[in-house]
Homo-oligomer: A and B are copies of this chain.
């Protein structure tokens, strides 16, 4: 049998109330007594039963996931996963609220965040670019006792508790190796495309990509980043222009979204098979492009794990419980057609 608080009390020679005071750092216990209890805990190897504790605490973890209102397949995937997570989380007395904010408006984001404490939210997962107002908002939230984790894109200069996401610089390096090895020995040109270089994750990926390309594949020339600002027309324009200027381009590296539009264009130009295309995030478009051989590899993070990790971290921070670093480490996943994960279907 696992020891309970009662065993601790007996072992330490104190009453239940005192054990309780020590366990929950309530005031009014002498240092000497605290020590006695701690030793009893250590001796018996007592581990607090969090299930029972939370039951008694009547705690319902109210969390908010704050995302930009961008129309991208990646955000859509996040939403889907959040949805399924929400229904499962109910059984673990966790509520998930999804909130969108105008992507270009840091002030309204900050204002929105400030309404969360009074709504009883205990933890926030946030995917947003770092701005001064946001920094202040996060500071205030933390002071009010909320747990704050950065999602997907880190907010390193803020007081966020944790970052849940992959190391984007390493992800960029990974793309570079694949690109380099897929292209072979000869001199080659590689184009890079992004939605916008304002997002930290895109910048970091590009840095990692360039770093490794320069070091390991000096014969490959990396062209400047083409930005498409989320517009299909703009994308077709800049890519077409690039292809006329550098008709021999051997590879395209896609920093952010745009898989669908790009592969469609390359298909129209009959270039899909010749050009090596590597991108990020396993969206439905990316899946079908991989499957059809129009993309060669996708570097991604498991969005389901991402969400679950964020939830676990939030709960841990709210509980002031240590987190299992190994479990929370998200892998940089390489997906090709051959290891494309099946759309999960219940095997039962």
Contacts and interface: CB of A to CB of B under 8 A. Distances in A.
Interface of A: 2, 47-52, 54-55, 60, 84, 88, 90-93, 162, 170-171, 173-174, 176-178, 181-182, 184-185, 212, 299, 302, 304, 308, 322-327, 329, 331-334, 336-339, 341-342, 344-348
Contacts of A176: 338
Contacts of A339: 170-171, 173-174, 299, 331-332, 334
Given A51-B55, A177-B338, A327 B346 contact: no
A91 B325 contact: no
A154 to B, nearest CB: 12
B336 A333 contact: no
A49 B92 CA distance: 7
A2 B338 contact: no
A347 B149 CA distance: 13
A88 B348 CA distance: 28
Contact of A50 (B92, B322, B327): B92
Determine how many copies of this chain the complex contains: 2
A21 B93 CA distance: 23
Contacts of A90: 2, 47
A336 B55 contact: no
A69 B216 CA distance: 42
A50 B92 CA distance: 7
Given A52-B55, A171-B339, A339-B332, A47 B91 contact: yes
Contacts of A347: 162, 325
A329 B348 contact: no
Contacts of A170: 338-339
A337 B52 CA distance: 44
B173 A338 contact: yes
Contacts of A177: 336-338
B329 A2 contact: no
Contacts of A178: 336
Contact of A51 (B93, B302, B322, B327): B93
A93 B338 contact: no
A332 B333 CA distance: 9
B327 A331 contact: no
A336 B174 contact: yes
A104 to B, nearest CB: 31
B304 A327 contact: yes
Contact of A344 (B54, B171, B212, B325): B325
Given A91-B48, A91-B49, A91-B50, A325 B346 contact: yes
Given A170-B339, A323-B346, 15 more contacts: A50-B91, A51-B51, A51-B54, A51-B55, A174-B336, A174-B338, A178-B336, A181-B182, A184-B185, A212-B338, A322-B346, A325-B344, A329-B341, A331-B333, A331-B339
